[in-house]
Each structure stands twice: as C-alpha cells, then as structure tokens.
C-alpha cells in the first residue's frame, strides 16, 4: 500500500491515548455493513478509517455482516461487499456474521430478564411509539412492564418457539420511560419475524434489534473501538448499558464521526436500490452510481479512492465534499500509470492527397512523456486518417488554431498538414476534408522553418479499431433535496452519451479495466460488461482538466 503520513484525527488521538495508558493492549476495529445493498463511497470512508487505524497500530480489523434483519438481506450483497473491501486493498482479520451470535445474544437477553432489566411487552409497534413521549414529555410505562421474571422467561422462550405471530410481542429493556434520551425509554430488544434468514434459514423467528445486537457483536468479537456515524451518538448510552448489563467481558467503546456527503451524489443504499429496481440505471455497478462497483467499472482506482477519503479526513460535523475532488485523485493516480494514446470520438475523415496510395509508415510515439519507463510504440500513418469533427471549421472565429481551409496544423506524432478543400453532403454536413502533408515536418525531425499554432490528434483510417465511447455526466443534477421532494426528480436525463469512434489499432486487444489517457479527451477504462473480443468499449473516467483546486 502507498506510503502516507497518517492523517491525524480525533479518533486516532483517542486510540493513541488508549494504547499509551494501557487501556487497550491492542486495537481492534470492525467494518460492519448490513448486507442489504452494495457498498458506496461513503462506506469506503468507514473502511479506510477502520482498516488504516488498525494497520497503523498493528491491530486487527474484522469484517462483520450486520445481518439481524432477515427481510432485506441477501447473499448477493454479502459477496459483493467482500469483493469491494478486497478491491479497495484491505484484508480483514476475522470474518463474522451478526447472525453467528444469535444463540449468545439470546442468552444475554435471558440474563437481562433474570436481572429484572427486560420484559415481554404486548403493545403493538404503534402503541409503543405513541407511549414513548417526546423530548418535552416523558413516556408512559407499558402495562406489561411489571411482569414477573418467571413470566418473562416463559414468554420469551415461547416467542423463540414460534408460538406468537409477527408483532404480537416484543422483548423490551426496562430502563427509564422518563429518560431525557428517548433511546433509553424501554427500547425494543427483540421482535418476532417469521421470515427465512439468508444465514440461519428458519432456525429463528425472533431477531435482535440493532441497538441490542451491535454492542454485543462488538464485545463478542473483542472490538475495542467501535466507530460509527454521528446519527448513533444518542444511542451511545444504550450501547454502554447493553455492554454493562449483559455482563460482557470485553467493553468496547463507541465513537462517532460525520458521514460522507458529496455533491451530485445520493448516498443511501435505499435510494441506490430504488435506482436499480426502477431500472433508472444499469444495475448496482452502473458507472454513474457512487457504489464501489460502479466506481470500479467506470475506472476509478482503489488508490484514488483511498487518497480521496484520507484527504477529506474525519470530523465531528457534517459537510459536503465536492465530487470533483475524487476526480482530482484519479487523475493524480493515473497520470504516470496510464499509457497515452490517441482516440477519435466524433470522427471526420481526412484524405492526404499528396500521400502515396497504398503506403503505410510506422511512426514512433512515446507511451507517456511524463514516465519514460513506459517506452514507445509504433503507430501507423497513411493517406486517410480520422480527426475530431470539431478540429475542423469551415468558417472559424478568430483565435481558432485548428484546421480550416488554408490553415496548417501539426498532427500529433506525425506531420504538418494543410487543408485545401472539403466535401459536403446534400444536407450540408461536412463529410471529408482534403489536405496535403509536408514530409519535412515529420515529428522528431528538427524542422524549424515554420511554426503552427495547433496540434490535433488523429488515427489511421485503414487500421483504426471501431469502438464505443461512453461519456458520463453526473447522474444527479443537484445535491439531494432537503425539502422532501423525491430525489428522482433531480435525475439528469443526459448522464450518458454513447458515441462510435476509433482508437489506435493496438487497443483492439485491450482487456477489461485497462486504462488509457486519450490525448485531449481524458482518462478511459475498458468497460467489463459491454466490451467484446476485438471491440472494446471505453468508459470515460474523467476529462483531463478541471477547475477544482485542492
Ligand atoms: P446507508 O444509509 O447508505 O444504507 P448505512 O449506514 O445504513 O448506510 P451500513 O451497511 O449499516 O449502511 O454501514 C456500514 C458502515 O458504514 C457503518 O459503520 C456506517 O456508519 C458506515 N457508513 C455508511 N454510510 C456512510 C457514509 N456516507 N460515510 C461514512 N460512513 C458511512
Ligand atoms: Mg443501515
């Protein structure tokens, strides 16, 4: 993994203090996704934070699937999450499923009941909500709160045995219905759900709630620092209560940081799932999605994602990060790695009328002028080439230095060419232009007699490979609406443009995920889904320039 100075942050400082004071002998963190969707760039922030912390202090990081809700979870998600964490460059120490601990959690709930700290309640979910009170008013105690330990033990066992229907009973903690913290007002610990679980099948019909399961999972795995997002700050007293009252040997501590928000990005699995289910995108790995698999397919690299999330840092207050910052880091990463070649996205044919028919010459080109180690290649040149349509204008404005009748430009890696005439079809579209070349101006020769102002790229028409280019714009036009309007009304109708053009012949055999810089166009990635043998499809990752400054 790349060398990096460890960015300081308040969680890292806590870890350092805990190691120095001997409070923690070793640090153990975890990344705890719920397998109810694919990971997104926000999760990458949590992954990098947890794994980097443990790496820095020779600790451990577990991957734990927080799979306590049987209704939304699927094995497909489990597999994709593992793949994404590995792809980001991390290896977990322990691999756990929350559901591995169901028996242990049940036993811990029994401890609470025996201590008089939990009871079976027959109120409906709606009634529980209504009696919970508000920030100003205390809640109302449930009429079932005074059930005896024996009665609670028996009813809880019967809940487990499937004797009740969904929603008929719950197990609640007996804490304080007047607590200023609403989470402490007898929170539900277990609910009944007669549903098949992706891991435990039909073994269980009662499932622990997040606030009960999560601290127990952390404690059972030996986690020392349980890092989560700010929404859980108010849950911390309950977290500590569960660890303490369930008499866990290991006492993990919870720390909260602000979740990542980005411009032009929806960052919630629920919304991303909706985009997939409504077929508004081409699956979870659509290159316009902020999922790890979407970013990968578009062509972002793990290095770029890691640098990005490290740079934005860890804070206690919310902010929205400019999505262009991620683009900055992928450019930085690919600058020295990606070969630079030529591609014509909107082709216009050029006939070089004084070049001998049937002749082909092979011109030498550097693969990456900023990285000489990448060597050189030969590219063919002949009488017919393609250039970009907008590199020619019949009637150009001032300061247009590319091709127009009478003007001369440099063809990158080749010769100067001068335009003499052009051909139009019946609709008035320019279909072909005619130029002459000057053999004395060959690239690499020390020709100095005249200068040209424009350099344009091209590909040899005879040998060029026909390919598709997929150009992207943000999928979401504005930041997420705060006013409750459905975010789908912000979807950009022009987020994908597919164009047919040409690349240099050597790219015919490009493999999925090969990355290139196309001269003047930006960085591209060979799409793993749409490419076929001999006909690659190129996703534009980013253009070359941006106004973004770090
Ligand atoms: P979502 O709301 O997108 O479904 P989640 O928080 O429900 O996200 P989990 O699978 O429960 O998703 O999250 C796994 C871990 O990733 C948690 O520790 C969570 O805090 C963290 N995480 C999720 N979204 C972000 C984000 N935008 N920024 C930072 N961390 C995040
Ligand atoms: Mg969640």
Domain ranges of the chain: 10-259, 269-339+467-542, 343-457
pLDDT at 484 over 70: no
* Sequence-ordered list of residues with C-beta below 8 angstroms from that of 26, at least 6 positions apart, any chain: 57, 58, 59, 60, 224
CA-nearest of 307, 335, 282 to 472 is: 282
Query: Does 343-457 match 10-259 at the fold level?
Result: no
- The band of 485, judged by pLDDT with boundaries at 50, 70 and 90, is low
**Centre of ligand 1 from the C-alpha of residue 372, in Å:** 42
Average pLDDT over every residue of 159-174: 98
- Structure confidence by residue, pLDDT tens digits, 94-126: 999 999 999 999 999 999 999 999 999 999 999
CB count, 10 Å around CB of 107?
11
Q: What is the pLDDT of residue 483?
A: 60
How high is the pLDDT of residue 10? 93
- Region 459-470: mean pLDDT is 98
Per the prediction, the chain carries an average pLDDT of 95
Tell me what the mean pLDDT of segment 528-548 comes to. 92
Structure confidence at residue 489 (pLDDT)? 85
Using left for φ > 0, alpha for ψ between -120 and 50, and beta otherwise, residue 116 falls in left
State mean pLDDT over 85-94. Answer: 98
The confidence score (pLDDT) of residue 548 equals 67
- Homologous superfamily of 269-339+467-542: Ribosomal Protein L25; Chain P (2.40.240.10)
74 has pLDDT over 90 = no
Average pLDDT over residues 143-153: 98
Class of domain 343-457: mainly beta
Domain 10-259 sits in CATH at 3.40.50.620
Q: Does 50 contact ligand 1 (Cβ within 6 A)?
A: no
* 333-371: pLDDT as tens digits: 999 999 999 999 999 999 999 999 999 999 999 999 999
Ligand nearest to the CA of 65: 1
Crossing angle (nearest 10°) for helices 102-114 and 210-221: 110
Q: What is the Cα 267 distance to its own chain's centre? A: 9
- For the stretch 24-33, pLDDT in tens is 999 999 999 9
Which residues are identified as catalytic?
34, 259, 269
Strand order in the sheet with 28-31: 28-31, 60-65, 95-97
Q: Ligand 2 centre and the CA of 292: distance in Å?
A: 17
Query: Taking the complete model, does pTM exceed 0.75, yes or no?
Result: yes
Reply yes or no on whether the pLDDT at 428 is more than 90: yes
Q: What is the pLDDT of residue 319?
A: 85
What pLDDT is recorded for position 536? 97
Band (480; pLDDT cuts 50, 70, 90): low
User: What tokens appear for 389 in the block?
Assistant: 């349509």
Question: Cα of 83 to ligand 1 centre, how many Å?
Answer: 17
Measured by CA distance, the residue closest to atom 22 of ligand 1 is: 43
Please tell me the predicted confidence (pLDDT) of residue 547: 67
């Amino acid at each position: 993994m790349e060398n990096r100075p460890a960015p300081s942050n308040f969680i890292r400082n806590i870890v350092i203090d805990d190691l120095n004071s001997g409070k923690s002998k070793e640090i153990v963190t975890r990344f705890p996704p719920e397998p109810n969707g694919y990971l997104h760039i926000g999760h990458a922030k949590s992954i990098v934070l947890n794994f980097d912390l443990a790496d820095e202090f020779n600790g451990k990081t577990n991957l734990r699937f927080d799979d306590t809700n049987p209704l939304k979870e699927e094995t497909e998600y489990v597999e994709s999450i593992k793949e994404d964490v590995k792809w980001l460059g991390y290896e977990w120490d322990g691999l756990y499923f929350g559901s591995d601990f169901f028996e242990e959690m049940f036993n811990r709930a029994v401890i609470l009941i025996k201590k008089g700290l939990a009871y079976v309640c027959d109120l409906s979910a709606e009634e529980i909500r209504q009696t919970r009170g508000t920030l100003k008013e205390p809640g109302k105690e449930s009429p079932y709160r005074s059930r005896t330990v024996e009665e609670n033990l028996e009813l809880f066992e019967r809940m487990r045995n499937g004797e009740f229907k969904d929603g008929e009973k719950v197990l609640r903690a007996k804490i304080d219905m007047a607590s200023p913290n609403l989470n402490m007002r007898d929170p539900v610990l277990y609910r009944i759900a007669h549903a098949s679980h992706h891991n435990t099948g039909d073994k269980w019909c009662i499932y622990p709630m997040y606030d009960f399961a999560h601290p127990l999972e952390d404690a059972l795995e030996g986690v020392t620092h349980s890092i989560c997002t700010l929404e859980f700050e108010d849950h911390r007293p309950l977290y500590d209560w569960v660890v303490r009252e369930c008499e866990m040997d290991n006492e993990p501590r919870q720390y909260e940081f602000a979740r990542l928000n980005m411009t032009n990005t929806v960052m919630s699995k629920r919304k991303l799932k909706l985009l997939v289910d409504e077929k508004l995108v081409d699956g979870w790995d659509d290159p316009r999605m902020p999922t790890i698999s979407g970013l990968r397919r578009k062509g972002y690299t793990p290095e770029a994602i890691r640098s990005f999330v490290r740079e934005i840092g860890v804070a206690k207050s919310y902010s929205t990060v400019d999505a262009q910052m991620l683009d900055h880091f992928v450019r930085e990463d690919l600058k020295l790695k990606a070969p630079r070649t030529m591609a014509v996205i909107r082709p216009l044919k050029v006939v070089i009328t004084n070049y001998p028919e049937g002749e082909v010459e092979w011109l030498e080109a550097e693969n990456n002028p900023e990285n000489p180690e990448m060597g050189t290649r030969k590219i063919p040149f002949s009488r017919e080439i393609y250039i970009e349509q907008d590199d020619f204008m019949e009637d150009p404005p001032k300061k247009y230095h590319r091709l127009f009748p009478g003007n001369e430009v440099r063809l990158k890696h080749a010769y100067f060419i001068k335009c003499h005439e052009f051909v139009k079809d019946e609709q008035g579209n320019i279909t072909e232009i005619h130029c002459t070349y000057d053999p004395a101006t060959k690239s690499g020769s020390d020709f100095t007699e005249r200068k040209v102002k424009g350099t344009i790229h091209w590909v040899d028409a005879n040998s060029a490979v026909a390919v598709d280019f997929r150009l992207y714009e943000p999928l979401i036009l504005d930041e997420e609406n705060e006013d409750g309007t459905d975010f789908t009304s912000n979807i950009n109708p022009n987020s994908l443009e597919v164009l047919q053009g040409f690349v240099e012949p050597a790219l015919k055999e490009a493999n999925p995920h090969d990355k290139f810089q196309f001269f003047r166009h930006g960085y591209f990635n060979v799409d793993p889904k749409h490419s076929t043998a001999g006909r690659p499809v190129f996703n534009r990752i980013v253009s070359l320039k941006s106004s973004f400054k770090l």
